[in-house]
């Protein structure tokens, strides 16, 4: 038996809170709303999903009795880890057992690939109890196999039928639930009798809409990162000599950076969506940060905090052009990157067609970043943007700018990347409750015979007893996007809205936060104590729902 910490032992005994509608278990009465359409491209989505398109949203009412037949359910963890995944599984387990004590829960191992390769385990009460309220996805593991091909679907159906599995729950983000939607359509078209339900997971926070108010894991991850940023802010106030450039997760959307900026009141918080909307340049971003450093230095404060979303580099228009040109050049001549000595590579790149504008951007960056751009390629020859150390790029460029333009002012930089630190943290009370409720909701949808639905729990700024559970058709979240040269149906990502309340809160305060050391120090996640300390949702959610 592995050793566990005192906190693990205490958390194992925590009973997550549920919406009142589940007072008698997952057997509920279903209330159907009006038929749904799609997020965009209605005719195309309808044509692609004739079996599942147009289904209504559903909510629940308490049912006093339950006479459900036993059902075997399987669960898949898909994509990157997010705090609370184990509690989704616990909610499914307890939910289907409340429908019928003879129901069984299986887990396909290693993500969607396990469903294709028939690698599975039965999750019994002893196994489940060991993982309640814990972080990570290690109960069954996760994976990134995409379920897209008919041959895969046929294997999943055959493997489920061999275990008498009547429902499959896919716990994942927008891409995983897109695959789930396609699988649900196929299962229904084949009259397989297998239901497919999704649960909204991603710490990035970009799987949300009016019915999915938050993706699970976002709350915990932001609290973990904000604690660390707060600790660094306190150190900055103590040492009074460093500017800290802190990159946080968020490749496609800046929800994490925005939330952490709001929680800690960093001096500068970059938001990728604003950078793109205002067509900001890399040099412009650098000059703006340097200007704030000068103003703070004139007050005797030679320190500061800059929060950077990891994907910001792709939102700078001139960087997008540079990366596109480099991808094109190096794709046509794969040996070119190997022959580029960084000190002299610009001439070779221009000789192969790099534009003068892109050459200027390229030369403005430090040599180590230029080397990453031309040397670090993916299997298709493309720049591996996610590996570019954006925090080091911006920090070093600000330092260079200060040396060239304000050499009389002391400026010293430090850089950090907070990513994996937040993905498997023990879930906050909010995420523990929310995830358990999502799992219970998935069980209720299965009990009601629904398919191609994403579990939805709303009214999240209120106490858990007042949360509203239901289901939203996956097709209602879909649009068509160009992926790898072809039109694909995908769940639309939710980016930071510049006219939304969270960004407006940042915009209204950032000039004051830039000039003054108005830092807030969130401290570690609290699990025991008053509700205002332990159960509060994110600032983002609070502002959006106010």
Catalytic center residues: 204
Q: From residue 463, give the alpha-carbon distance in Å to each of 153, 222, 307, 458, 459.
A: 40, 20, 31, 11, 9
How far is residue 491's CA from residue 254's CA, in Å, rounded to a whole number? 18
Nearest Cα to 323, choosing from 338, 311, 307? 311
Instruction: Look up residue 285 and give its two tokens.
Output: 């971003």
- Other beta carbons within 10 angstroms of residue 279's beta carbon come to 11
Which residue has tokens 């965009």?
40
The DSSP 8-state label assigned to residue 68 in this structure reads: P
How far is residue 181's CA from residue 178's CA, in Å, rounded to a whole number? 5
Where are any strands of DSSP class E within 185-310?
195-200, 243-248, 268-269, 304-309
User: Any residues with CB less than 8 A from the CB of 421 and at least 6 apart, and which?
Assistant: 224, 225, 228
Which residue has tokens 């108010």?
213
Chain centroid offset of residue 417 CA: 16
Instruction: Look up residue 466 and give its two tokens.
Output: 């007042």
Decide if 94 contacts 437 (C-beta within 8 A).
no
Which uninterrupted H or E stretch holds 53?
none
- Please give the span between the terminal C-alpha atoms of the chain, in angstroms, as a whole number: 47
Decide if 455 contacts 197 (C-beta within 8 A).
yes
């Amino acid at each position: 038996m592995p050793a566990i910490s005192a906190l693990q032992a205490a958390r194992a005994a925590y009973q997550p809170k549920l919406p009142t509608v589940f007072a008698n278990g997952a057997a509920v009465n279903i209330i159907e709303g009006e038929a749904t359409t799609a997020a965009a491209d209605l005719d195309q989505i309808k044509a692609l999903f004739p079996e599942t398109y147009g289904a209504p949203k559903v909510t629940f009412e308490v049912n006093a009795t339950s006479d459900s037949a036993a059902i075997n359910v399987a669960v898949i963890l898909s994509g990157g880890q997010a705090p609370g995944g184990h509690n989704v599984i616990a909610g499914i387990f307890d939910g289907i057992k409340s429908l019928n004590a003879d129901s069984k829960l299986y887990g396909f191992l290693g993500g969607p690939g396990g469903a294709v390769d028939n690698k599975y385990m039965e999750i019994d009460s002893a196994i489940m109890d060991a993982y309640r309220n814990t972080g990570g996805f290690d109960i069954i593991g996760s994976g990134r196999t995409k379920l897209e091909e008919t041959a895969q679907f046929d294997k999943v159906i055959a493997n489920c039928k061999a275990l008498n599995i009547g429902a499959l729950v896919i716990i994942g983000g927008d891409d995983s639930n897109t695959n789930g939607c396609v699988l649900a359509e196929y299962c229904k078209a084949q009259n397989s009798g297998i239901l497919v339900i999704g649960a909204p997971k991603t710490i990035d926070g970009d799987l949300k809409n009016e019915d999915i108010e938050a993706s699970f894991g976002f709350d915990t991850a932001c609290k973990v990162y904000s604690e660390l940023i707060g600790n660094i802010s306190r150190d900055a106030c103590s040492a009074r000599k460093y500017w800290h450039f802190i990159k946080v997760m968020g490749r496609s959307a800046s929800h994490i950076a925005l939330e952490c900026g709001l929680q800690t009141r960093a001096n500068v918080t970059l938001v990728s969506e604003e950078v793109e909307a205002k067509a900001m340049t890399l040099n412009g971003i650098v000059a703006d940060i340097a200007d704030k450093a000068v103003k703070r230095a004139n007050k005797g404060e030679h320190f500061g905090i800059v929060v950077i979303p990891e994907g910001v580099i792709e939102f700078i228009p001139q960087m997008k052009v540079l990366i596109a040109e480099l991808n094109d050049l190096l794709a046509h001549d794969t040996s070119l990157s190997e022959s580029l000595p960084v000190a002299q590579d610009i001439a070779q790149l221009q000789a192969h067609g790099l534009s003068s504008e892109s050459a200027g951007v390229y030369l403005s960056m430090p040599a180590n970043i230029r080397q990453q751009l031309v040397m670090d390629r993916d299997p298709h020859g493309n720049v591996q943007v996610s590996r570019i150390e954006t925090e080091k790029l911006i920090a070093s460029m600000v330092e260079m700018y200060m040396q060239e333009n304000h050499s009389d002012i002391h400026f010293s930089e430090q850089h950090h990347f907070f990513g994996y630190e937040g993905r498997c943290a023990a879930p906050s009370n909010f995420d523990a409750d929310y995830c358990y409720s999502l799992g219970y909701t998935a069980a209720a949808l299965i009990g009601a015979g629904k398919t191609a639905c994403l579990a939805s729990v709303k009214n999240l700024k209120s106490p858990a007893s007042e949360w509203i559970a239901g289901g939203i058709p996956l097709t209602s979240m879909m649009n068509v996007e160009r992926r790898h040269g072809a039109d694909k149906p995908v769940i639309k990502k939710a980016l930071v809205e510049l006219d939304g309340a969270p960004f407006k809160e940042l915009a209204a305060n950032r000039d004051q936060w830039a000039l003054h050391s108005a830092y807030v120090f969130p401290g570690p996640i609290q699990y025991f104590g008053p509700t205002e300390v332990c159960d509060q949702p994110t600032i983002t959610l609070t502002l959006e729902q106010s």
